[in-house]
């Protein structure tokens, strides 16, 4: 029980009590206003510089914003571009064309390699059946009756007299034809392999880069290079629609679903 010695002490006591109550009420009111403002800011998704306290899992909360940022960052640039139907159609078209060209190129390389082996066997057979000079040099009679070495030089008459003919030797034209055939096949193989390494390889790398994918214009360039630089040996192995002119091929190629 409080005991006051005089009236002044009593008034002072109750005055201090009233001041404290008023101060607490003001602070409580201010705190409530801040809470109301923070709630409205969180609902609106506005940054306040303070951690979210009300909508921790809501659309405007820090955790939700962080989650959205992480999801956006997880999407590669290519994935973002593929959300555009125009880009997706063009990308799928080029991917399909590239895949067809890659398969046709592998088939062409295999076929030419087999043909080279056969041509080498034919050339070896011709060389084995050739007539020979005493020193073992192979010689061949041409259509005009001249006897020539493999390099085309004419054999001297005194050496011609030393040759023993059997009658079934290959001619100089047979040798030249076999060499021309082999050289042509080797050139075709070099051409196809160059196309594979210089055109298809870089195209595959470019369209497969998830973080730096080709633009629409780049896709046009890739498509044009695949079509315009395609060797004849590869064209012969392409499906009819894919081997057409670039304009026709673009209209004819289906659009497969990625990952399907």
Q: Using one digit for the tens of pLDDT, what is the confidence trace for 97-120?
A: 999 999 999 999 999 999 999 999
pLDDT at 78: 80
Over the Cα atoms of the chain, what is R_g? 43
Residue 38 tokens, joined: 């923070």
pLDDT at 244: 44
pLDDT at 124: 97
Within its chain, how far is the Cα of 43 from the centroid?
44
- The phi-psi region of residue 45 (left if phi > 0; otherwise alpha if psi is between -120 and 50; otherwise beta) is left
pLDDT grade, residue 123 (50/70/90)?
Answer: very high
Averaged over 136-157, what is the pLDDT? 95
Please give the Cα distance from 31 to 37 (Å, whole number).
Answer: 10
pLDDT at 47: 60
Please give the Cα distance from 218 to 202 (Å, whole number).
Answer: 12
Q: Using one digit for the tens of pLDDT, what is the confidence trace for 41-78?
A: 655 556 655 555 544 555 555 667 666 665 555 567 88
Which segment of 58-62, 75-79, 127-131, 174-178 scores lowest on mean pLDDT? 58-62
Residue 139 tokens, joined: 């010689």
Please give the Cα distance from 100 to 156 (Å, whole number).
Answer: 56
Averaged over 164-185, what is the pLDDT? 95
Q: Using one digit for the tens of pLDDT, what is the confidence trace for 10-46?
A: 555 555 655 555 556 666 656 666 665 665 565 555 6
Averaged over 133-157, what is the pLDDT? 95
pLDDT at 255: 33
The number of residues making up the chain comes to 260
Looking at per-residue pLDDT, the higher value among 160 and 6 belongs to 160
pLDDT grade, residue 260 (50/70/90)?
Answer: very low
pLDDT at 30: 63
* Residue 205 scores a pLDDT above 80: yes
């Amino acid at each position: 029980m409080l005991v006051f010695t005089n009236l002044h002490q009593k008034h002072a006591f109750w005055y201090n009590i009233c001041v404290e109550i008023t101060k607490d009420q003001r602070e409580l009111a201010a705190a409530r206003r801040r809470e109301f403002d923070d709630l409205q800011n969180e609902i609106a998704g506005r940054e306040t510089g303070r951690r979210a306290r009300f909508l921790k899992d809501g659309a405007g909360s820090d955790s939700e914003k962080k989650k959205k940022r992480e999801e956006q960052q997880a999407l590669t640039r290519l994935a973002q571009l593929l959300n555009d139907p125009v880009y997706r159609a063009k990308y799928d078209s080029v991917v399909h064309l590239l895949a067809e060209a890659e398969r046709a190129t592998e088939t062409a390389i295999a076929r030419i390699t087999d043909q080279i082996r056969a041509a080498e066997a034919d050339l070896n057979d011709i060389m084995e059946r050739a007539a020979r000079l005493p020193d073992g040099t192979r010689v061949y009679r041409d259509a005009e009756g001249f006897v020539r070495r493999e390099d085309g030089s004419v054999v001297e008459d005194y050496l011609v007299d030393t040759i023993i003919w059997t009658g079934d030797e290959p001619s100089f034209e047979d040798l030249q034809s076999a060499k021309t055939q082999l050289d042509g096949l080797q050139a075709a193989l070099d051409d196809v392999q160059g196309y594979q390494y210089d055109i298809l390889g870089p195209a595959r790398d470019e369209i497969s880069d998830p973080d730096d994918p080709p633009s629409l214009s780049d896709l046009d360039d890739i498509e044009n290079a695949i079509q315009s630089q395609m060797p004849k040996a590869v064209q012969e192995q392409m499906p009819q629609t894919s081997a057409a002119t670039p304009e026709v091929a673009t209209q004819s190629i289906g659009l497969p679903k990625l990952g399907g």
